[in-house]
Amino acid sequence: MITFSGVYKYYDSVAVLNNVSFNIEKGELAFITGPSGAGKTTLLKLIFGSEVPDEGQIKVGDFELSKIRHSKIPLLRRIVTFVFQDFRLRQDLTVFENVALPLKVAGEKEIKQRVLDALKDVSLRHKADSIVKTLSGGEQQRVAIARAIITNPQIILADEPTGNLDPESSQEIMSLFKRINTRGCTVVIATHSPEFFRNTPYKVLTLKEGKITT
Ligand SMILES: Nc1ncnc2c1ncn2[C@@H]1O[C@H](COP(=O)(O)OP(=O)(O)OP(=O)(O)O)[C@@H](O)[C@H]1O
Ligand SMILES: [Mg+2]
């Protein structure tokens, strides 16, 4: 589903990713870990097509990202969604309106039922009409996840989804991603918290100084 082959990414002539190769299978849940500055966010952005590799190949589904034309990026984004570290929600809109946006953009029908189902999935059905800026951090994280799953993507990328949450909310968010994964969605989570993947059956890719060490 996601294959990196000999990928290099440079910023200011420093190799942030230095000959990185790995494979994540369809339906897998994988963690990307490593110290701050190791390149975790960069790696997710490369999968999302918001950064391009300087060398090497990146295959995501049927897309070859080192050669992808700009006009094809919207097609890529139909199969890959990104839960950003800062959520990027529309703070002045309601929870419902935020989650409905991707469906409206795609010109989909049956928006109402699908949004309510997604909100139920993330246990926020009761907050549908609340303005996003009145929600807690954990609740906003769940709105961001509902918005990411609403279009039934094949791959969800999440950048430090528990970064600003207390342990209990963090566990809830991780359980939610595991549940999404059991429905067949490939999930890739960048995190520097080892407690989420220690003693789990999931794939762990550890980045250090631009290389994968596990
Ligand atoms: N757009 C950019 N321009 C220049 N340097 C960048 C850019 N994006 C990232 N970098 C540099 O690349 C390195 C890796 O950054 P990245 O954000 O991928 O790390 P990270 O592993 O996600 O770190 P953190 O755990 O702090 O989120 C850092 O040294 C960062 O300063
Ligand atoms: Mg990061």
pLDDT of residue 197: 86
pLDDT of residue 187: 98
pLDDT of residue 164: 80
d(CA 11, CA 17): 10
Three-state DSSP class for residue 155: strand
Which class is domain 2-212?
alpha beta
Ligand 1 interacting residues, C-beta cut-off 6 A: 11-12, 16, 34, 36-42, 192
- Whole-number average pLDDT of the chain: 95
Domain ranges of the chain: 2-212
pLDDT above 90 covers a percentage of the chain that reads 87
Backbone angles phi, psi at 129, to 5 degrees: -100, 5
Q: Are strands 186-190 and 155-159 parallel, antiparallel or unpaired?
A: parallel
Of all protein residues, the one whose alpha carbon is nearest to atom 30 of ligand 1 is 37
* pLDDT tens digits for range 169-202: 899 999 999 999 999 999 999 998 888 888 889 9
Q: What is the mean pLDDT of residues 152-172?
A: 92
Atom of ligand 1 nearest to the CA of 207: 21
Predicted TM-score (pTM) of the model is: 0.95
Atom of ligand 1 nearest to the CA of 51: 1
* pLDDT tens digits for range 71-92: 999 999 999 999 999 999 999 9
Q: Is the pLDDT of residue 163 over 90?
A: no
